[in-house]
Amino acid sequence: MINQIINQVSEVPLEGITYKKLRPGKKPLTPEYIPPPPELVPAAKRAVCIDPSRTCMPFGAMWATLGVHRAIPFVQGAQGCTTYVRYTFSRVFREPASIASASFHEDAAVFGGRKNLVRGIRNLVCRYKPELIAIVTTCSSEVIGDDIQSFLAEALEMMEEEFGPEVLDLTRFVVVHTPSFAGSHVEGYNRAAKEFLKALSRRSGQPSEDLYFIPGFLMPGDLRELKHLLELMGVSFHVLFDISDTLDCPLVGMPNRIPYYPPGGTRVEEFVRAGDARAIFALSPDAGAAGAKWLSRRYQVPAFVLPMPLGVGNTDRLLKTVSEISGRPIPEAVRWERGILLDAMADTLHYTMMKRVALAGDPDFVAAATRFVCELGMIPTYILVGTKSASAAEEIWKTCEEYNCQPVLMNGSDQFEWEYALKQDPPDLILGHSRCVNISREIRVPLVRFGFPVYDRIGYQREPIVGYRGGERFLARIVNAILDHHYPDDRTHQ
């Protein structure tokens, strides 16, 4: 009897029993699952969009504005355009985000938003005393056809009458046109980058050695890592739209002055001096390149549009470019950090090599992450680029050619199509944002969170993924997800 039972027990392999073996019937889905008709799976063939992986254009412009010191976005639209965005910021960053609304009601829809803008700007200036107001338009004001510039001129004139001419020196204004039907949040950031530089930057005629950076949707931790690398390089630099000390601030108690403003953010003077810059870098080709290109056309500042410095190759590329343009060699300390990342990659190659991985998110994140996972020896299978992007597609195909893999690229599609593909052909790992949780749970594949938005885990906004040290942290996140999932019993881990 005993012998019989013992004989039935299958041999435990040396590496332990993997999760896959513990769960023999893998592909449970839900019993009542009815597959969609195949002709409706590709987003391009549908009129209906299910679970988009992109949000509206004003969001990107507001993100950029919140990276400027004492700046408030003024959203020329209905109140939901503000409230939904504030909610998103508070979920992702757990920080207050001051965003004002023009409070469009029915009268604005009929008569236009002139009164709302004129009164709103006045209220904002005298109640909050911001250094900069970015007027961010929405679908409604663009459909109505609000003439923002003339409204703004009128608002300033009325304030001058009421408070005297010195009121005009208090606040700078930038107008960003962001109708949501014309693009996603990525395009909104892109437009904001251009409009801010257009409205503020000047050339004094005394060229400086400063390098300017437009980061895109990098998180506070990423920005700090970027600054750390640039400090090691010994160059003088400015990060525009620097949210690191506005959306990740210490708790200090009641400030001396209210309304509360976070201490950090790019100063307006930094924008003003951008015309004298030695060079400007856009670290997200889809979010910020427009600003860099405009500066280069207007003031002949050399512009470099590089992939996000995520992983070895992309970070190498950034540092080499910085080194060339500034004439400074890459210091030993940076080589040391690079070596540590390479060491971590070599140490963990058995976990990462040949693992199949699906990716989803914003174009710049996904394009850079595709290169990084290829560097780790992983095989990208299904790649969802939330916002349609030619540059991301080009970068991804270039990477795939180099590393000889043929993923399915869903450019500008929605999560429905991507998730359907994942259900048919589950990968070993998913790299995506918090909205990929459902599919990760459903097909029981671990999710490594990165990009925008991550709101269901703590501290991701502070933990860098860019640069060599960030790459090492990101690699650890990836490997630990694989370990937790495929090797749930820590005792089998050698």
Partner 1 sequence: MNACGNQGCMPWRVKPCGQASEPGGMTQRSCVYFGARYVLGPVREAVHLVHGPVGCTYYGAMVRGEARDLCGTALTEREIVFGGLDRLRKALREVWSLYPRARGAFLYATCSSGLIGEDLAGLARQAEREFGRRVVAINCPGFAGKSQAEGHALAYQALLDLVRPLPRYRYPTVNLVGEYNVAGEAREIRRLLEKLGVRVHTVLTGDTSWSEIETLARAHLNLLFCGSTARRFVSELRQRLGIPYLKVSFYGLSATGASLRRIGEVLGLSSTRVEALIREEEAGVLARIRPWLRIFDQRRALVVLGAGRLGPLSRMLRELGFEVLGVASVFGSPEDHREAAPFSDFLTDDPGDDEFERALAVLRPDLVITNAREQWRAVKLGFPTLSFPQERRRGPYAGYQGFTNFVLSLARVLSAPVWGLLGL
Q: How far is the CB of 169 from partner 1 (least distance, A)?
A: 13
Residue whose tokens read 């990342």? 341
Per DSSP, what are the bridge partners of residue 135? 74, 175
Active-site residue flag, 373 = no
Binds partner 1 by CB under 8 A, chosen from 66, 100, 344, 367 = 100
- The burial of 298, by beta-carbon neighbours within 10 Å (0-12 exposed, 13-18 middle, 19 or more buried), is given as middle
| Cis amide linkage into residue 28, ω under 30° from 0 | no
Question: Residue 376 interacts with partner 1 (CB under 8 A)?
Answer: no
Binds partner 1 by CB under 8 A, chosen from 24, 31, 205, 253 = 253
Residues numbered 384 to 413 that lie near partner 1 (CB under 8 A) are none
Q: Among 93-101, 217-225, 366-374, 393-401, which window interacts with partner 1 (CB under 8 A)?
A: 93-101
313 in Cβ contact with 371 (< 8 Å): yes
The sheet carrying 279-282 orders its strands as 237-239, 211-214, 279-282, 303-305
User: How many Å separate Cα 384 from the centre of its chain?
Assistant: 15
Active-site residue flag, 139 = yes
Q: How far is the CB of 287 from partner 1 (least distance, A)?
A: 16
- Each residue 257-286 as x (binds partner 1 by CB under 8 A) or -, in order, gives -xxx--------------------------
Q: How far apart are CA 220 and CA 161, in angstroms?
A: 41
> In 227-373, which ranges are E strands?
237-239, 279-282, 303-305, 356-361
Q: What is the DSSP letter of 331?
A: P
408-411/100-101 β-pairing? unpaired
Q: How far apart are CA 477 and CA 467, in angstroms?
A: 15
Binds partner 1 by CB under 8 A, chosen from 157, 161, 162, 401 = 162
Residue 62 or 341 having the CB closest to partner 1 = 62
- Each residue 435-474 as x (binds partner 1 by CB under 8 A) or -, in order, gives x--x------------------------------------
Q: Among 180-188, 301-309, 401-409, 472-480, which window interacts with partner 1 (CB under 8 A)?
A: 180-188
Question: Residue 382 interacts with partner 1 (CB under 8 A)?
Answer: no
Residues numbered 27 to 86 that lie near partner 1 (CB under 8 A) are 32, 34, 36-37, 40, 46-52, 54-59, 74, 77-86
Residue 109 or 483 having the CB closest to partner 1 = 109
Q: Six-digit token pair at 21?
A: 């073996």
Q: How far is the CB of 154 from partner 1 (least distance, A)?
A: 14
Residue 93 or 212 having the CB closest to partner 1 = 93
> In 283-418, which ranges are E strands?
303-305, 356-361, 379-385, 408-411
Q: In the chain, what is the greatest distance between 2 CA atoms, to the nearest angstrom?
A: 100
Residue 118 or 400 having the CB closest to partner 1 = 118
Residue 4 or 256 having the CB closest to partner 1 = 256
Binds partner 1 by CB under 8 A, chosen from 22, 23, 29, 90 = 90
Q: How far apart are CA 62 and CA 75, in angstroms?
A: 8
Q: Six-digit token pair at 74?
A: 């003024």
Question: Residue 108 interacts with partner 1 (CB under 8 A)?
Answer: yes
Residues numbered 119 to 158 that lie near partner 1 (CB under 8 A) are 119-124, 126-128, 138-140, 143-144
Which one of 139, 334, 357, 466 is the catalytic residue? 139
Q: How far apart are CA 69 and CA 269, in angstroms?
A: 10
Q: How far apart are CA 439 and CA 448, in angstroms?
A: 12
Q: How far is the CB of 67 from partner 1 (least distance, A)?
A: 17
Catalytic residue numbers, as ranges: 139, 143
